[in-house]
Structure 1
Amino acid sequence: MSIETFYRDSWAEVDLSKIDYNIRQLQGRLSAGTEIYAVVKANAYGHGDIQVAHQALKSGAKALAVSLLDEAIRLREAGIEAPILVMGWTRPEDAVTASEYRVSVTVFQKEWMEKVQHFHFEKPLKLHMKWDTGMGRIGVRTTKEMDDILDHFRNNPTFELEAVFTHFATADEEETGYFEEQERRFKHLFSHFERVWQENVEIHTGNSAASMRFPDRMKNFVRFGISMYGLYPSDVVKEERPIALEPAFSLQSRLIHVKKLDAGEAVSYGATYHTRKEEWIGTIPLGYADGWIRKLQGMEVLVDGKRHPIVGRICMDQFMIRLDQEYPLGTKVTLIGKQGAHEITTDEVADYLETINYEIPCMISYRVPRMFFENGHMVEVDNPL
């Protein structure tokens, strides 16, 4: 395949070899017997869910985790047979569909179980019970809530309790007091669980940060999310560097127009930028409809291995940069990634937007084709348009 398999000069590149590298780095860090859920929710954090899922399983992940049942069904219909967990809320009336697709779903309310028990299931419904040990989002908080849910498992053999899990709110922070408090709460709940439930279940508590920083405290599984894509979950973890990571995502475009403007000329909506002297201005075919949002005005991109600033407001489909000289049409522009000796990282873009690196690849919309590489060779292009 070539770049001509889509009809625009902007695209994202996803290096599946980096996904493989990051998973193997974590495997080397974890204790023997601890397996990996590859988290591919939100289109694999903007990287491409089906492609990343296949690579993660090939690299040794034993299961997949998503946020929505729709995401899980999409993976099943793509031919993926590995276990899949929906970590978020699933409507009770959709539980039958989940069982038909052999998708495990999350439970944390007795009212949910009361509704689900009235449906007819041809296949077992596999469930993971979420415990809220301090995230404050979803999950069982008390042993009474736990007991109310477990009663429904005892009374209905269709329900299979596959696992219990929790999520740490501060595992990526320097101060570990709250993380340890969540661990204490989990142990309290689990001690009760062991007394009242005799069957074996899986346990998964660790996200990327906890998995990398505290591998000896992890249980049967960990959930490898942001760091599978080569990004550290916080500056603290990045500085500690418990394992080496390599970013899998880059964002590229090309110059489609280059012009010289006289001093005092305005650029883009609102005339917020005026040339200070004669300036070369380049136009790039990417805009906020692609996820390169207006707040990135002033951010830099790479052309010819050098940094060039975005000038004027970013438009829906295009934005402009100030060039240091005239460049030919078609010259490559790197928004995220390396050119020569310079690099613009996802972290840099996140810092500019005063947000976290998780958000940046997720922002890049479906309009931007994804080109997938493995060992330096392009293996697939995904263009929803």
Structure 2
Amino acid sequence: MSKTAAVPTAAVRARAEIDLSALRANVRALRARAQGAAVMAVVKSDAYGHGAVPCAREALAAGASWLGTTTAEEALELRAAGLPGRILCWLWVPGGPWRPAIEADIDVSLGGMWALREVVEAAWAAGRPARVHLKADTGLGRNGCQPGEDWAELVATALRAEAEGLVRIAGLFSHFACADVPGHPSIAAQLAQFREMTAYAEQQGVRPEVRHIANSAATLTLPETHFDMVRTGIAMYGVSASPELGAPKDFGLRPVMSFSAALALVKRVPGGHGVSYGHHYVTRGETTLGLVPVGYADGIPRHASGSSPVLVDGKLRTIAGRVAMDMFVVELDGEEPPVGSEAVLFGPGDRGESTAEDWAQASATIAYEIVTRIGTRVPRAYLNASA
């Protein structure tokens, strides 16, 4: 073999395959877990990196009845793509855009008086009521209205706006802090607080269509939290909310994304050869190295340097040295797979490849981050669409 092998022309440097049949099966499994509660398919952050529009379309086809996004721009993108039904958007800053959301028939979240004032003004300008969900802070400590006087003021003012035809209070909701930690005492405390705050609102005259607090972890393990609707995010993509809860297969779920690249170079190097920036890896003896043409600009965690396993030529190989912006190196232990061979970073694990959870543990992070951070210059290939 020559000292270096030329890179052949390749159609695809790297790609993420999105198995839409797995997504539909996951939605059906989650609907069964929800035990009659409506299922919201959360497609925020481009469907956790999987592609918001195609995943939303398939989730609805599999029986989800709501879609959920973080930003108004995400919700408006779904409407522009022609997606029907109910969409809830829950993170707002002063200035909205409230009116475009109201006009696009998007439900909006209100966690404080400033938001209610702005949405009432936008509804008046739009000439139609806004559908709103009042967000209760039951203990997560992020957005949402505090219990007590703050909640009483928000409920009373929202009811007055409803009587004036400017809003429709469609939902009451909250979010768990530790539903992914089995037995955590905050779960019961938050659930009790949510029951108290929703009961108060209903006693004052609120008639919500849906009450919802359950995220993926609660949907899978806490049936008492399901109420009228569950919000399924990471579980819909076949990724566990936390290792403590169990693997996806324990709940009948299958990972939807597989991420692979083509080896761009295979070369033999002597012992004592430094690899990548900083020479944090030095070859122990004469060996072969493979160049994988993706890096942290594509979403590969730099913390994966020197640890995460990659399946090349049927064997798990370890990243050698630091992950760079556009590439990283794997140790091939003297073997010489052909240039262009597939390097599978993660997938369902069927072929012995790593999963997103394996990468998360190797990178000291969570699997959410692994799939969500895969960058836009990595093309998505959608497999097994329903139509």
Question: Under a length normalisation based on structure 2, what TM-score does the superposition of the two structures give?
Answer: 0.90
Higher strand proportion:
1
**Residue 24 (str. 1) matches residue 24 (str. 2):** no
AA at the equivalent of 2:232: F
SS in 2 for 1:343: coil
Q: Is the 8 A contact 1:126 1:160 kept in 2?
A: yes
SS in 1 for 2:268: strand
The match for 2:160 is 154
SS in 2 for 1:64: strand
Q: Following TM superposition, by how much is the alpha carbon of 1:111 offset from its aligned partner in structure 2, in angstroms?
A: 2.4
**Residue 61 (str. 1) matches residue 59 (str. 2):** no
SS in 2 for 1:344: coil
Q: Following TM superposition, by how much is the alpha carbon of 1:271 offset from its aligned partner in structure 2, in angstroms?
A: 2.6
Partners of 1:114 and 1:264 lie apart in 2 by 67
**Residue 215 (str. 1) matches residue 223 (str. 2):** yes
Q: 1:293 aligns with which of 301, 314, 333?
A: 301
The match for 1:106 is 109
Partners of 1:341 and 1:93 lie apart in 2 by 47
What number of residue pairs does the alignment pair up? 371
Partners of 2:180 and 2:119 lie apart in 1 by 36
Change (3 A) 1:75 1:341: closer
Partners of 1:127 and 1:101 lie apart in 2 by 14
Q: Is the 8 A contact 2:296 2:302 kept in 1?
A: yes
Question: Under a length normalisation based on structure 1, what TM-score does the superposition of the two structures give?
Answer: 0.91
Partners of 2:119 and 2:351 lie apart in 1 by 57
Change (3 A) 1:242 1:197: farther
AA at the equivalent of 1:326: E
Change (3 A) 1:312 1:198: closer
Identical pairs, percent: 34
Q: Following TM superposition, by how much is the alpha carbon of 1:279 offset from its aligned partner in structure 2, in angstroms?
A: 0.9
**Residue 282 (str. 1) matches residue 282 (str. 2):** no
AA at the equivalent of 1:252: S
Judge which range, 23-32 or 278-287, deviates more. 23-32
Q: Is the 8 A contact 2:298 2:375 kept in 1?
A: yes
Gapped regions of structure 1 (runs ≥ 5)? 1-5, 380-385
**Residue 14 (str. 1) matches residue 26 (str. 2):** no
AA at the equivalent of 2:160: R
Q: Following TM superposition, by how much is the alpha carbon of 1:270 offset from its aligned partner in structure 2, in angstroms?
A: 2.3
The match for 1:372 is 382
Q: Is the 8 A contact 2:169 2:206 kept in 1?
A: no
The match for 2:244 is 236
Q: Following TM superposition, by how much is the alpha carbon of 1:202 offset from its aligned partner in structure 2, in angstroms?
A: 1.4
The match for 1:121 is 126
Deviations 1:37-91 (A, max 9, x none): 0000011111111111001000000010000001001111111122110121243
Q: Is the 8 A contact 1:121 1:158 kept in 2?
A: no
Q: Note the 1:1-385 alignment, pairs <5 A.
A: 8-32=12-36, 34-119=37-122, 120-150=125-155, 151-155=157-161, 156-238=164-246, 243-298=251-306, 299-324=308-333, 325-337=335-347, 341-374=351-384
SS in 2 for 1:228: helix
Gapped regions of structure 2 (runs ≥ 5)? 1-9
Deviations 1:311-352 (A, max 9, x none): 122221111111131111111110112677412011111011
Q: Is the 8 A contact 2:174 2:212 kept in 1?
A: yes
SS in 1 for 2:82: coil
SS in 1 for 2:367: coil
Partners of 1:258 and 1:240 lie apart in 2 by 35
Q: Following TM superposition, by how much is the alpha carbon of 1:300 offset from its aligned partner in structure 2, in angstroms?
A: 1.8
Structure 1 vs Structure 2 CA RMSD: 2.1
AA at the equivalent of 2:381: M
AA at the equivalent of 1:108: G
Change (3 A) 1:309 1:50: same
Partners of 1:217 and 1:292 lie apart in 2 by 35
Q: Following TM superposition, by how much is the alpha carbon of 1:241 offset from its aligned partner in structure 2, in angstroms?
A: 7.1
SS in 2 for 1:132: coil
Partners of 2:201 and 2:188 lie apart in 1 by 20
SS in 2 for 1:206: coil
Q: Following TM superposition, by how much is the alpha carbon of 1:92 offset from its aligned partner in structure 2, in angstroms?
A: 4.1
Q: Following TM superposition, by how much is the alpha carbon of 1:296 offset from its aligned partner in structure 2, in angstroms?
A: 1.3
Q: Following TM superposition, by how much is the alpha carbon of 1:367 offset from its aligned partner in structure 2, in angstroms?
A: 1.0
Q: Is the 8 A contact 1:30 1:216 kept in 2?
A: no
Change (3 A) 1:148 1:121: farther
Q: Following TM superposition, by how much is the alpha carbon of 1:243 offset from its aligned partner in structure 2, in angstroms?
A: 2.2
Q: Is the 8 A contact 1:92 1:116 kept in 2?
A: no
Q: Is the 8 A contact 2:266 2:291 kept in 1?
A: yes
Change (3 A) 1:144 1:192: same
Q: Is the 8 A contact 2:349 2:355 kept in 1?
A: no
Deviations 1:161-218 (A, max 9, x none): 1100011111121224211111111111122112111534311111111111122441
Q: Is the 8 A contact 1:143 1:192 kept in 2?
A: no
Change (3 A) 1:242 1:195: farther
AA at the equivalent of 1:114: R
Q: Is the 8 A contact 1:303 1:334 kept in 2?
A: yes
Partners of 1:127 and 1:338 lie apart in 2 by 38
Q: Is the 8 A contact 2:345 2:353 kept in 1?
A: no
SS in 2 for 1:37: strand
SS in 1 for 2:211: strand
